[in-house]
A = this chain, B = another copy of it.
Amino acid sequence: MDERKKKILQAVIDEYINTAEPVSSSALVEKYELKYSSATVRNELAELEKNGYLDKTHTSSGRVPSEKGYRFYVDELVKEDDISLEEMKYIQSKLSTKVNEIEDLAKIATTTLSEITHYTTVAIGPKPEKQLIEEIKFILLGNRMLMIVIVTDSGLVKETIIKYDKDVLQSQIETLNNLFNTKLKGKPLSKIDKPMEEYILDEINYSIDVIKPIIDQINRIVEEADKIYLEGTNRSFDLPEFKSLELAKNFVNVLDEKEVMLDILDSGVAKDINVYIGDENDKKELKDFSVVTFKHSIGDRELGTIGIIGPKRMNYSKVISVMKYISKRINQDKQNEKKDNKEED
């Protein structure tokens, strides 16, 4: 693939990303200031097609990128700094709103990503099994409301409330705090299984009416911990590929399938941006879409995954640039915060 071919391929894909219409040789010459005639470009296009980088929708149509074409584009032609100063500033301002829960930070990042790229974004937190319980705390609100707070090593805080029909005593709270902490501290955030439940029941002789709700609620917290956060679903409806309501519905359905989304976000390498184009996706439901994901982290600790789902002709340059920037910012800012703390110790 010589330079001229690369340049033309890039132009075709850039143009197609913009217009969503098959690209003609003359349009390329006009808009991309190629110093060749349309005939020459046509010859090159024919060859690019022969080599599998481009397709046609019908014999006399303009060219459309093939998946191989997109792959080449992503690997070789993408601009990784396709981000403006305004955008950087906007991201910074968003991320620096004082948030106190890691989860909020991830949400803000996800929302911001969707705002800037105009694509639908998704996020999941760290796998529950990978998080260790740092503290579990029982707190009495009023006389009959029991609040349970679980803090994990990654800084996640989860809480729930139980309302009892009878007064709860402060002494009971102490006992609960002691028992659950000695038993769960340092353990991964996973459901309380039968043996553990029995152990607990054995250990304290509170009635099952007291204990059962606690166990249920803790299990609920764990379950909820891998909730999926979706942002900007609506935005996708503005895309021309969704002019067929069929596709739009299909898209919404994919997003609704929790398992599918989890799998997608779970695969992918840490510390890197992962791009899956069309059929490269494991899930056939996604064969018409592209997915770009990255795991964000603070230092070595993975904090979750954020992904973008959009048409195959998504603006990879912009998406990748913005993701890189957000990723860097999260890591850097938070690491600094931590360092600040350390220094004061």
Interface size on A, residues (CB 8 A): 41
Convert A132-153 into 0s and 1s, putting 1 for each residue whose CB lies closer than 8 angstroms to a CB of B: 0011010101101101010100
Are A135 and B141 touching (Cβ within 8 A)? yes
Chain B residues near A139 (CB-CB < 8 A): 137, 139, 149
Convert A153-179 into 0s and 1s, putting 1 for each residue whose CB lies closer than 8 angstroms to a CB of B: 001010111110110000000000000
Convert A231-258 into 0s and 1s, putting 1 for each residue whose CB lies closer than 8 angstroms to a CB of B: 0001001100011010011001100100
SS class, residues of chain A in contact with chain B: mixed
Are A161 and B237 touching (Cβ within 8 A)? no
Choice from B100, B134, B243 contacting A217 with Cβ under 8 Å? B100
Convert A302-327 into 0s and 1s, putting 1 for each residue whose CB lies closer than 8 angstroms to a CB of B: 00000000000000000000000000
Are A248 and B256 touching (Cβ within 8 A)? no
Are A341 and B165 touching (Cβ within 8 A)? yes
Chain B residues near A145 (CB-CB < 8 A): 100, 151, 157
Are B248 and A216 touching (Cβ within 8 A)? no
Are B213 and A237 touching (Cβ within 8 A)? no
Smallest CB separation, A184 vs chain B (Å):
15
Are B340 and A165 touching (Cβ within 8 A)? yes
Q: Tell me whether A58 is interfacial, beta carbon within 8 Å.
A: no
Chain B residues near A337 (CB-CB < 8 A): 165
Q: Tell me whether A101 is interfacial, beta carbon within 8 Å.
A: yes
Are B252 and A237 touching (Cβ within 8 A)? yes
Chain B residues near A252 (CB-CB < 8 A): 234, 237
Chain B residues near A3 (CB-CB < 8 A): none
Chain B residues near A202 (CB-CB < 8 A): none
A29 vs B165: C-alpha distance when bound (angstroms): 58
Closest-by-CB residue of B relative to A343 is: B165
Inter-chain pairs besides A98-B213, A137-B141, 10 sampled, C-beta below 8 Å: A100-B217, A135-B141, A139-B149, A141-B149, A144-B341, A147-B157, A234-B252, A238-B249, A243-B245, A245-B248
Show 12 A/B contacts (Cβ-Cβ < 8 Å), sorted by A: A98-B213, A98-B216, A100-B160, A100-B161, A135-B142, A141-B149, A155-B163, A165-B340, A166-B344, A234-B252, A242-B245, A248-B248
